[in-house]
A and B are shown apart, each in its own frame.
Chain A
Amino acid sequence: MTSIDPPLAMLAEVTHRCPLQCPYCSNPLQLLTASQEMDTETWKSIFSQAAEMGVLQIHFSGGEPTVRQDLEKLVAHCEGLDLYCNLITSGVLLNKDRLIRLAAAGLQHVQLSFQAAQADNADRISAYPNSLEKKIEIGRLVGEIGLPLTVNAVMHRQNLDDLEALIDLSVELGAQRLEVAHVQYYGWGLRNRAALIPTRAQLDRSTNIVEAARERLKGRLVIDYVVPDYYARRPKSCMGGWARQFVNVTPNGKVLPCHAAEDLPGLTFDSLRDRTLADIWQKSAALNHFRGIDWMPEPCQSCDRRELDWGGCRCQAFALTGDAAVTDPVCELSPHHDQVKQIAKKESGESPPEFLYRRIGGAN
């Protein structure tokens, strides 16, 4: 591989701390504690390196990024570097003053997550009291102070009946965008898969609802739609390809191609505490391992979609086959594809088990 293009965007997981406990959380099962997080100055230096390399956007995520009291400082630092700052938040810790301070620091956009449109269901899924009311209030405030809002609705078998109400809520809040994202089965979502996976009929119904809403709300609300992989015939282009467009930084400074990759066995991800971002991006053995197309097995190696979907998701390949280096089994051309169909059918057809909530030590 000669020259490696810099990533377009960085997902900055500034913390794993979060007051909510969503059972589909994309964080790893082993959550980091506050004392393991990088401090303000270290993060600032990372953002400076990112800007220098050619990163254009910073997505502040977590955990819940607003638990960090220095978030304004980090945003202001990025703004000074002309980096576009996006905040991915559950909203429950925000208030008007803080939002105004974040906007003044240069924040450009807020993505606010909703667990459900019914209060009791939202509380049950997030294991956090009165979350819906709080989120609605924050969604309103975002619009009031003049920032664009994206509503992020994570959908699964236990809240799909709320989809229409969530679309209405997004319109009511004046959101510009709504992301209807079916849960993906990594990390906590994988552990809770049977409690989350919809039936084919439920999925089709949600697809119809989204399509009708797109038509009805054209020009007023942009709706992005992510279907659950297990019902797909071709995999998603995971992160636009391993270590191509996105770089994910964990609270303690590990550089990953996506938020879930740390759980893959046999790969050692480098830390920004030891090396520079540019050095890691170019030379990390783990990032180079699945970069491009050289690593690909058949059927990907001779497939004309190989530079469109990059063979799908490595984490999903590992989760379903125990081998991260095979074609994503979501692909119909994978020899493991039948297994995926069977899992979806079986698990969605049985009554859902209890949630395993996302909390420190919760997966042990």
Chain B
Amino acid sequence: MMTDRRIIDETSVPRLPTGVRLKFDDPRDQWVILAPERMYVLDQVALAIVRECDGVANVGGIIDALAEDFAAPRAQIGGDVVHMLQDFADKGVIDA
């Protein structure tokens, strides 16, 4: 079962694995990720990224979509998206 560290690049196809859930937390008016023994509160950018992790789109496609949504240059946000997804992958919040 020994797995290697998942390295995120533009070809990775991220998704939320079993045991990780995106949920709107009504009483606190925020989006959260519920994960084993953990809870993360998502800001607007993190939420936009996580919502794209559908197990179909690759990271390159996700960056394209976000660049359009946020009307931001691709080159500017690409690094941040990969960085955030790598961090989530290291924490086990996404699979790729």
Contacts and interface: CB of A to CB of B under 8 A. Distances in A.
A56 B22 CA distance: 11
Contacts of A150: 36-37
A86 interface: yes
A177 interface: yes
A5 B32 CA distance: 16
Nearest to B7: A219
Secondary structure of the B contact surface, majority rule: loop
B25 A222 contact: no
Contacts of A8: 39
Contact of B1 (A53, A172, A179, A219): A172
Given A8-B39, A109-B19, A218 B5 contact: yes
Interface in A211-265: 218-220, 222, 224
Contacts of A333: none
A84 B4 contact: no
Interface residues of A, number: 31
A301 interface: no
A54 interface: yes
A28 interface: no
Contacts of A220: 2-5
Interface size class of B (residues with CB under 8 A): 20 to 34
Contacts of B4: 219-220
Contacts of B92: 148, 176-177, 222
B23 A56 contact: yes
A340 to B, nearest CB: 28
Nearest to A174: B1
A56 B37 contact: no
B71 to A, nearest CB: 33
B35 to A, nearest CB: 8
A173 B1 contact: yes
B37 A86 contact: yes
Interface in B2-50: 2-7, 17-21, 23, 25-28, 32, 34, 36-37, 39
Contacts of B39: 8-9, 56-57
B18 A148 contact: yes
Contact of B36 (A9, A148, A172): A148
A233 B2 CA distance: 37
A32 interface: no
Given A54-B26, A177-B37, A219-B5, 8 more contacts: A54-B25, A56-B25, A86-B37, A108-B19, A108-B21, A111-B37, A172-B2, A219-B6
Please give me the 8 A-B residue pairs with the lowest Cβ-Cβ distance, nearest first: A219-B5, A174-B1, A54-B27, A148-B19, A109-B36, A84-B34, A176-B92, A219-B90
Interface of A: 5-6, 8-9, 53-54, 56-57, 82, 84, 86, 108-109, 111, 143, 146-148, 150, 171-174, 176-177, 179, 218-220, 222, 224
13 contacts: A54-B27, A56-B25, A86-B37, A108-B18, A109-B36, A109-B37, A111-B37, A150-B36, A176-B36, A176-B92, A220-B2, A220-B4, A222-B91
